[in-house]
């Protein structure tokens, strides 16, 4: 089945540690996205990538980093510089091209930093 | 900066009531518009989308939305809601120039049986 896989579903880390969230897609989509979902805040864009080896900052990129070395993969690293990292993180992918395509979402990773 | 505003954060309705959820966006260029739904414990799913053509679009489960360009709005409607429509609903805008997708803060809909 085609889809987007985020792993793990739940992740716990100690404060001050970097942590990497995985996102893999087999939909052959060029564009991939990372969002953070907090209660009452909706989905806020962290980073997005339209093509391999290229990515752009979203609205809340501070404290996060990404890479896009392969079309299928778009890992997100939550660094120790992120002041409030505990959140639900969603990865998405789509076909780029003048925006006339919807995004498909993974199941999400809930990160808790203690 | 571009933004998406959803007017209602929490809506409570009885079954069979009519629903309208407001969505406005701020961006002067060409956009594509979406409504997504997140049922409890499930991932985000596309409800409907507008790219071009007829501004009244129909989606799954009896939902529809109307794009009014002059008002920068894309309100979601359903004539008669069901208990199973209990979920969180998100309006989203894709800025054509760079494929950036921006979401509103969501509306939590609770349907009383």
Q: Do A43 and B103 touch (CB under 8 A)?
A: yes
Cβ(B77)–Cβ(B64) below 8 Å? yes
Residue A72 φ then ψ, to 5°: -80, -15
Give dist(CA A33, CA A76) in Å, integer: 10
Please indicate whether, in this complex, the C-beta atoms of A103 and B101 are within 8 angstroms of each other. Answer: yes
d(CA A48, CA B95): 13
Q: Do A42 and B105 touch (CB under 8 A)?
A: yes
Task: Tally C-beta pairs within 8 A across A and B.
Answer: 69
Taking CB atoms and an 8 Å limit, are A99 and B31 in contact across chains?
yes
**Of B58 and A98, more confident:** B58
Q: How far is A102 from chain B (nearest CA, A)?
A: 8
Report pLDDT digits (tens) over B89-112: 999 998 766 778 899 999 999 999
- pLDDT confidence of residue A25: 96
Residue B27 binned pLDDT confidence (cut-offs 50, 70, 90): confident
d(CA B56, CA A4): 30
Mean pLDDT of the residues in chain A: 92
Query: Quick check: B76 contacting A, CB < 8 Å?
Result: no
Q: Note the pLDDT tens digit of each residue in A30-79.
A: 999 999 999 888 899 999 999 999 999 999 999 999 999 999 999 999 99
Question: How much is the pLDDT for A66?
Answer: 98
Nearest chain A residue (CA) to B35: A102
Share of chain A above pLDDT 70, in %: 94
**A100 pLDDT more than 70:** no
CB contact under 8 A, B103 and A42: yes
């Amino acid at each position: 089945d085609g889809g987007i896989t985020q792993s793990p579903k739940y992740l716990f880390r100690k404060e001050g540690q970097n942590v990497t969230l995985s996102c893999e897609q087999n939909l052959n989509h060029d564009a991939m996205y990372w969002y953070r979902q907090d209660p009452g805040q909706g989905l806020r864009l962290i980073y997005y990538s339209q093509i391999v080896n290229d990515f752009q900052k979203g609205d809340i990129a501070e404290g996060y980093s990404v890479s896009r070395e392969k079309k299928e993969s778009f890992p997100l690293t939550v660094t120790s510089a992120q002041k409030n990292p505990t959140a639900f993180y969603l990865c998405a992918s789509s076909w780029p091209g003048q925006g006339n395509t919807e995004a498909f979402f993974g199941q999400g990773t809930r990160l808790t930093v203690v | 900066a571009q933004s998406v505003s959803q007017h209602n954060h929490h809506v409570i309705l009885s079954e069979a009531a009519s629903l309208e959820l407001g969505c406005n966006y701020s961006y002067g260029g060409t956009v594509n518009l979406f409504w997504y739904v997140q049922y409890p414990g499930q991932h985000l799913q596309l409800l409907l989308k507008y790219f071009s053509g007829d501004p009244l679009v129909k989606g799954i489960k009896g939902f529809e939305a109307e794009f009014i360009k002059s008002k920068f709005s894309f309100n979601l409607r359903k004539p008669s809601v069901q208990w199973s429509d209990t979920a969180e609903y998100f309006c989203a805008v894709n800025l054509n120039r760079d494929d950036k997708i921006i979401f509103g803060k969501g509306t939590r809909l609770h349907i009383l049986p």
